[in-house]
A and B are shown apart, each in its own frame.
Chain A
Amino acid sequence: MICAPTENRLSIEKSDAGRRGLFCKNPLRARAKVPANLRRKAAPRLPELSEFDVVRHFTRLSRLNFSVDTHFYPLGSCTMKYNPRFNEEAAALEGFAALHPLAHDTCSQGTLELLHDLSARLTELCGLDAITLQPAAGAHSEFTGLLLAKAYFEDKGETRTEIVVPDSAHGTNPATASMMGFTTVNIASEPDGRLNVEELKKHIGPKTAVLMLTVPNTLGIFETNIEAIAKAVHEAGALLYMDGANLNALIGLVKPGDLGIDMMHLNFHKTFSTPHGGGGPGAGAIVCRKHLAPFLPVPTVRKEGGRYVSDFGDKRTIGKVKAFFGNTGVLVKAYAYMLAHSAKEFGDIARYSIINANYVRALLKDLYPSYSKEHCMHECVLTPGEDMTAKGLKTLDVAKGLIDRGFHAPTIYFPLIVHEAIMIEPTETESKETLDEFVAAMKDVHDQGVADPQSLKDAPRTLPVRRLDEVLAARQPNLRW
């Protein structure tokens, strides 16, 4: 973002009738014979540009973004770690990229072997028994997980209608439950975000299908009573689902399966370093115990003799949650990342993500008090200090002040149970020097705010645009050219 460009026209506003970019000159065009009544009447209103126009337009747009490669991006709960270039190169290999999803198994042995090995390594890392790689994202995995639970109980002849979710959970948990026709039962968590086992017992029973639990929770705190929780859930005949959004804190350090969970989901775009792409594509997985395996979506990959085959499972499968196999292109990247890590090296990911978060928390504790009194895992939740709130400053102002200093803002106003939350997840790939610079910026924001609150409320000033009118956007939606 050197010298933020001032011009902000849309591509359609640069369009000129008759200008051309790419052509398709395939002579077979002349053989097209589509009857006139089936043809479109008006040409679509798309820009008419030269190739160079298009390249310059989108290159300019790219420079208006903050990204992991250009800026420290400590978004809590999102695990914005470095996305290795090597992963990208692997996925782009023609042998992987050009493979048709309905290719015959004899043509897809390389990809099937990769998926098979990836599946085996992931189930081992999680300490569980079986896996599906079909979900396209984390929320899609939750959906898959609840479908598994439903099929599991139906198979047992039980009707269970409730999903129990702590109030600190990600919004996707209750949204998924509701989409599936379950009733959500919310449980207030303790002030430290943990679940009170006695309180939990009051809310679970013969109607409970699943307890969805984020470990560590959204305050970055480990669920210390997890064994007792798992026991209570299982005594009620229900299943324990672990939201794996925060797996970066545990990977290689703890096997989630040891904690007594029945299933969990993975976000490859978080823990396994695949890029977020401005909001996707991601990829997800459900890893589960044996008793849920018969219900997994199909196909999965099985090794038969020396060959790999797509396995369409037994009759109890929940079917498909997505066309074809899954976001294989993303899975290749995750596999490349796995190859780069031994078990011990995975443990270092957890180790340094935890050290980094506690380091930031310790250095900021006087100006931005930590919500929780104990050490955190991979992320910490802070709030603006009293000297800032007394001047009417809010978390949003801190966020905008940080952007002005070249740091992406942390996640703000989440978890909902913390008033004015600032949720910081540095990840393990950031160096001590970067964290020191970030801490200095946070202090600078504080000092500016306390000395001249209005100036912080006017931030950002150095970006392509200043604060945007979201009310106008929502009241008079302008969603297209």
Chain B
Amino acid sequence: MYIPHTEKDKSEMLKVIGVPVFEDLVKQVPSKFLWPKFNLPQESLDEAQAAAKLSGLAARNCRPLSFLGAGAYERYTPAAVKAITSRTEFLTAYTPYQPEASQGTLQAIYEFQSTVSALYGMDYANASMYDGASSFAEAVRAAVRVTGRKKIIYSAGVNPQYMDTLKTYFAHSADYTYVKVPMKDGAMDKAALPALLEGAACLAVQTPNFLGLIEDMDGVAETVKKAGALLVAAADPVSLGLLAAPGEYGADFAVGEGQSLGLPLAYGGPYLGLFSCRKEHVRQMPGRICGMTKDRDGKRGFVLTLQAREQHIRRDKAASNICSNEALCALAATVYSALYGPEGLKELAEANAGAAAYAAERLSAIKGCSLKFKGPFFNEFVLAVPGKAAAMREKALARGVDIGLPLAPLYPELGETLLVCATETKTEADILKLETAVKEAL
């Protein structure tokens, strides 16, 4: 209960309004609808009781030593990130519709857009979207709008959840076709591209891909461009501390899951959709965009801009129906990037690549286990196992280690495999525990 009114307040206020009882204020509601019975607890909990209940629930989630990745990554959240995002001037503000009273949020968004543009090597970024999947789907939608084509080519290594979300976005029409680029040793078969790309709106590719492999993007943009299509690239932002940026290999739209930039896993959200593009597509960016301008005295300030594209103005002609971004998550990612800086992000990326390389080395040495693919990978890899992967995972979980995600439900063609991920949070000792757990689960 968070209501300040006393009985005295209530009667004084009703008197000012000029009604004797509250029910007179809601005469527009047919009375038979008022005050129904609810099958809900008759008593609410006080704060201490609620805290005990919630702590109990939280404790029922177990905390294994986890090597799960697959689109959501275990990260350390720096104390300074938590401190800044819990400042209630950020936390409890609304969308910055009154710019003079929202310069803090607006400048933070401007710095976020700059950070994402820089990381992805792209010209512009928006103020963020719901998550990586929605950014991906919106980028493909933009490519469809720009080219007027409805054939979508995607690499087999795109996160299956991203493809599911995209197909849901386009579910209203049977006009869209999806063509998968075949896989060659876990990566995109580039030789297949020219034939597939004919008449396509875009090639959508993810690197590092869902199976952890780093795609070789050399020459891909040229092939795509030759076909009159656009290149949509999805990339993990932390990997970009080390790996080629989408702008460097010629992407038209680049997107990613910003959870990687220090956000908690939180069972799937809130996460952070990163969305960036080349200059010529700036008006195709969905969602909010913040711009720098001047005030009446010529002083620097920030406003939401290019707003006429948005739903509250264009209504049924809007580029998208999105009306919120993930401002607080965007703030967290901006602070995280500023704290680590270019050098720190490179270190983080190296720690990811190093931890995964070490895990791969230890696990592939176990009898019966092997790396499914030969190519270079970032922070996760596919391990072929001799038994049932799902059963192995459950066995290892009972000993406190989550050894990775069984891939059979998503990629039956790969046989019994685990997608194993190690981020910068893992130590050499952790990886040795993983090795033991896998051995014992065989």
Contact = CB atoms under 8 A, between A and B. Distances in A.
Direct contact of A and B (CB under 8 A): yes
11 contacts: A10-B107, A26-B427, A40-B243, A55-B80, A58-B87, A67-B88, A94-B63, A277-B93, A322-B269, A345-B44, A355-B25
Interface string A223-251: 01001000000000000000000000000
B33 A258 contact: yes
B52 to A, nearest CB: 10
Interface stretch (B222-230, B333-341, B365-373): B333-341
A375 to B, nearest CB: 5
A335 B53 CA distance: 11
A330 B95 contact: no
A99 B61 CA distance: 7
A88 interface: yes
Given A100-B267, A466-B295, A467-B100, A278 B358 contact: no
Nearest to A257: B36
Contacts of B341: 19-21, 46-49
A332 B86 CA distance: 16
B267 A108 contact: yes
A45 B431 CA distance: 34
A28 B269 contact: no
B185 to A, nearest CB: 15
A282 interface: yes
Given A101-B267, A273-B2, A358 B17 contact: yes
B353 A330 contact: no
B59 A40 contact: no
Interface in B406-441: 424, 426-428, 431
A107 B402 contact: yes
B428 A20 contact: no
B71 A323 contact: yes
Interface stretch (B148-156, B167-175, B194-202, B381-389): B167-175
B100 A465 contact: yes
Nearest to A478: B292
B220 interface: no
A59 B87 contact: yes
A81 B363 CA distance: 52
A174 B24 CA distance: 34
A136 interface: yes
Interface centre among B45, B47, B341, B344 (most CB of A within 10 A): B341
Contacts of B172: 150, 180-182
Contacts of B268: 101, 323-328
A343 B40 contact: yes
A106 B22 contact: no
Interface residues of A, number: 200
A301 to B, nearest CB: 11
Contacts of A282: 324
Contacts of B36: 127, 254-255, 258
Given A39-B243, A64-B104, A464-B103, A20 B344 contact: yes
Contacts of A278: 90-91, 93-96, 102, 105, 108-109, 327-328, 331
A128 to B, nearest CB: 13
A147 B93 contact: no
Which 5 residue pairs are nearest across A and B when measured between Cβ atoms? A324-B268, A95-B58, A277-B328, A110-B60, A281-B270
B179 interface: no
A224 B29 contact: yes
Interface residues of B, number: 206
B47 A403 contact: no
Given A63-B89, A125-B40, A468 B54 contact: no
Interface string B13-30: 110111100101111111
A429 interface: yes
Contacts of A48: 341-343
A280 interface: yes
Contacts of A84: 2
B281 to A, nearest CB: 13
Given A22-B78, A136-B131, A279-B94, A93 B101 contact: no
B18 A473 contact: no
Contact of A95 (B18, B61, B95, B301): B61
Interface string B289-308: 11111111101111101111
A329 interface: yes
B68 interface: yes
B338 A463 contact: no
B88 A28 contact: no
A62 B68 contact: no
A339 B168 contact: no
Contacts of B177: none
Given A127-B36, A318-B168, A329-B270, A28 B355 contact: yes
Contacts of A106: 62, 394, 397
Interface in B120-141: 121, 123-125, 127-128, 130-134
B305 A470 contact: yes
A382 B59 CA distance: 50
B57 A113 contact: yes
Contacts of A127: 36
Nearest to A47: B338
Nearest to B74: A100
Contacts of B310: 171
A7 to B, nearest CB: 11
A97 B295 contact: no
Given A143-B321, A275-B88, 7 more contacts: A20-B343, A46-B338, A103-B61, A322-B165, A375-B27, A463-B100, A480-B117
Contacts of B350: 24, 29, 32
Interface in A145-159: 147, 150
Nearest to B83: A55
B121 A90 contact: no
B442 interface: no
A206 interface: no
A66 B98 CA distance: 9
A279 B338 CA distance: 21
Contacts of B125: 479-480
B16 A363 contact: yes
A70 interface: yes
A191 interface: no
Contacts of A324: 72, 161, 267-269
A450 interface: no
Contact of B47 (A54, A181, A340): A340
Given A26-B354, A110-B58, A278-B327, A21 B340 contact: yes
